[in-house]
Amino acid sequence: MRHIISVLVENKFGVLARIAGLFSGRGYNIESLSVNATENEDISIMTIVTRGDDHIIEQIIKQLRKLVNTIKVRDVTQVDHIERELALLKVHATQRTRPDILSIIETFRGKVVDITKESLVVEITGDQNKLNAIINVLEPYGIIEIIKSGTIAIARGNKSTTDFTKQDIKSQEE
């Protein structure tokens, strides 16, 4: 099963290496990993996409929690959530094929961000299925390069993963 795990970490020396090392050292796989600062500069959030049976996912979550710099771990796939990926696609496009390609891009609500005589660059966001779909359709025209961000995800509803953090820090400081 595919799981998206949000990990709130202290923004400290070597924390990315600790997390990446945990996955490689224990034989877990990482499908994608994205790291960003949060509104609090001392704290970063990592979104990790991984695969494994329930037993492995449970161990992954426990092992992540065990790291001293980890503040909070959440399996986003357990709750109602929204996930997105950003892709930049460089597609072969001549004068003859350009109109067709542009209409495909419009259908997928993509954006053209660069154009040359023989190519164009599309910016597109969506979940994995949508991105795969447009890639499939554009393939026959010749895709020169695909760059994708990892998946990021957020839970629906009022609660924020980072909100919990602030409370946690507060109670520690008090």
Binding stretches for other proteins (CB under 8 A) = 9-10, 13-14, 17-18, 21-22, 25, 55, 58-59, 62-63, 65-72, 165, 168-169, 172-173
**Closest approach of other proteins to the CB of residue 128, in Å:** 30
Pairwise CA distance, residues 174 & 161, whole Å: 21
Quick one: 108 or 164, whose CB is closer to other proteins? 164
Helix (H) or strand (E) holding 37: strand 29-37
Quick one: 139 or 168, whose CB is closer to other proteins? 168
DSSP annotation string for 65-128: HHSTTEEEEEEGGGS-EEEEEEEEEEEE--TTTHHHHHHHHHHTT-EEEEE-SSEEEEEEEE-H
19, 20, 38 from 81: Cα distances, Å = 23, 24, 19
**Closest approach of other proteins to the CB of residue 21, in Å:** 5
**Closest approach of other proteins to the CB of residue 67, in Å:** 7
Quick one: 71 or 89, whose CB is closer to other proteins? 71
DSSP designation for 158: S
Quick one: 14 or 157, whose CB is closer to other proteins? 14
How many Cβ atoms sit within 10 Å of the Cβ of residue 77?
Answer: 15
Compute the residue count for the chain.
174
Quick one: 103 or 172, whose CB is closer to other proteins? 172
**Closest approach of other proteins to the CB of residue 55, in Å:** 7
How many Cβ atoms sit within 10 Å of the Cβ of residue 91?
Answer: 25
**Closest approach of other proteins to the CB of residue 32, in Å:** 22
